[in-house]
Amino acid sequence: MLVSNFTLGFVDYYEFDTGWTSGYELQVTNLADVEITFDLEWRITRHYFGGEAPGVPVTTSLATMLNRTWYKDLRGYYSHDGMLIGPNQSYKFHLQPWIYEGRKWTPYVDGYAVLRVPVVRSSHSPYALVPQSKTAIPVLLNAVRTERWIKRYSPPPDLVTTSQSSFPLASGKALNEIPAETEPYQHPIRVREYIDAVKRGTIAPAQGILGRPEEDRVQALLDLLNQLTRDEADLDALNGMLKAAGSVVRVVGSN
């Protein structure tokens, strides 16, 4: 379920005496009569980090700006939040830039949020992933743009002003029904990028497959195996990942 678009950014007030930051907040109210685990996927469609040093990965810049772990798939950059919300209870998901010092430029990201009712691990053997409900889950949604202005004074205190405004929802209404997912949501990835990064030494082997969310790892391994050539360096990189994961499995090329 697509919730809404957002634009996030900031101006560092330590550099300009007057700063500004714009964040996103989504309040989710569970109207079902049972507790539900919700998954909010943040997707980035456009970004600008012109003040970063050359070669800094986008995922690193996103993590610095938004204080969370980011991943990349064939659709771009994404991150997840998960929360168990009780019946008739609410939770606010946040995506807020951090104003960090020493930036004489204005970074920003554009993106959108997707709210899902994901499959969860069964509490009974064999502990398979199962849907949370046989019916759609009713929810109330409220998407808000949060803005904050900071004027620096010497001596302190600084002047801080805040405001909020509503974002339009994709459905156009606050009350929605979200169908429960029946299988894990897969993120198509190009594992070749991880192999090349390991060969260059820019990431550790354990950051390859192990760096993916758990539900993506099997698909990641299959994609990786399908992309392998007879290149010994590729095989060494893959075996390095397996060794770092503590696996006894090794891949040997065939003629």
Residues 121 and 75 in one domain: yes
Residues 17 and 139 in one domain: yes
Nearest to 3 by CA among 26, 22, 30: 26
Residues 166 and 237 in one domain: no
Contact 31, 139 (CB under 8 A): yes
The parent domain of residue 206 ranges over: 192-244
Structural domain tally of the chain? 2
Instruction: Determine the residue type at 132.
Output: Q
Residue 184 maps to a domain: no
Residue 252 maps to a domain: no
The residues near 228 (Cβ < 8 Å, ≥ 6 apart) are 234, 235, 238, 251
pLDDT for 27 equals: 96
Q: How far is it, in rounded angstroms, from Cα 163 to Cα 145?
A: 8
Q: If you search the block for the tokens 């900071």, which residue do you land on?
A: 150
Residue 254 maps to a domain: no
Residue 124 maps to a domain: yes
Q: Which helix (H) or strand (E) holds 84?
A: strand 76-85
Residues 165 and 207 in one domain: no
pLDDT for 75 equals: 84
pLDDT for 155 equals: 82
Q: At what angle do helices 192-200 and 217-227 cross, to 10 degrees?
A: 80
**Mean pLDDT of successive 10-residue stretches along the chain, which has 255 residues:** 87 68 93 96 89 76 87 86 95 84 71 93 82 95 89 80 88 94 74 60 50 55 60 74 78 71
Residues 174 and 200 in one domain: no
Residue 97 maps to a domain: yes
Does residue 156 have a cis peptide bond before it, meaning omega lies within 30 degrees of 0? no
Residues 28 and 139 in one domain: yes
* End-of-domain residue from the set 128, 149, 178: 178
Residue 203: CB atoms within 10 Å = 15
pTM for the model stands at 0.73
pLDDT for 157 equals: 84
Residue 212 maps to a domain: yes
pLDDT for 207 equals: 47
Residue 187 maps to a domain: no
The residues near 41 (Cβ < 8 Å, ≥ 6 apart) are 78, 79, 80, 113, 114, 116
